[in-house]
């Protein structure tokens, strides 16, 4: 059974650029969440999608956005990148709310 797949694994971008990260959840999982992990802030919730609808959003600026497709695959987009956006971005999927999440290996974004 394939796990949660995140692409790409590594990204280097320049300040001001935009970036799109992709997440393919476990087959059958309808809930997809995104988290930002940094040494200083730990794991911070970005947003959660369920059946193509955003159900919850964390305290991040509007530059951070996401979407979920009908096959449950999800993308998150960060526009006008800042140095502080450098982080490990983790995607997690779950069958339903309340189940434990399965996390992907993450995308390491470096903004220079």
Partner 1 sequence: AQSVAQPEDQVNVAEGNPLTVKCTYSVSGNPYLFWYVQYPNRGLQFLLKYITGDNLVKGSYGFEAEFNKSQTSFHLKKPSALVSDSALYFCAVRDDTNAGKSTFGDGTTLTVKP
Q: Which residues bind partner 1 (CB under 8 A)?
A: 4, 31, 33, 35, 42-43, 45, 48, 50, 55-56, 58, 90, 92, 97-106
**Closest separation in Å from C-beta 36 to partner 1:** 11
Q: Which residues contact 94 (CB under 8 A, 6 or more apart)?
A: 29, 31, 33, 100, 101, 102
Instruction: Pick the closer one to partner 1 by CB: 76 or 81.
Output: 76
Cβ proximity to partner 1: between 14 and 53 the closer is: 53
- Three-class DSSP category at 8: coil
35 or 64: CB nearest partner 1? 35
Q: Give the Cα separation of 23 and 96 in Å (integer).
A: 17
CB of 13 to partner 1, least distance (A): 21
Q: How much helix, strand and coil, in percent to the nearest 5, is found in the chain?
A: 5, 55, 45
Minimal distance, residue 78 CB to partner 1, in Å: 19
């Amino acid at each position: 059974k394939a796990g949660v797949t995140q692409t790409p694994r590594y990204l280097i971008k320049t300040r001001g650029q935009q970036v799109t990260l992709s997440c393919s959840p476990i087959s059958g999982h309808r809930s997809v969440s995104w988290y930002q992990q940094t040494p200083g802030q730990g794991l911070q919730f970005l947003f959660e999608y369920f059946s193509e609808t955003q159900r919850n959003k964390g305290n991040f600026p509007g530059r951070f956005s996401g979407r979920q497709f009908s096959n449950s695959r999800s993308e998150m987009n960060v526009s006008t990148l800042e140095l502080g956006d450098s982080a490990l971005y983790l995607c997690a999927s779950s069958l339903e709310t309340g189940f434990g999440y399965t996390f992907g290996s993450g995308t390491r974004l470096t903004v220079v």
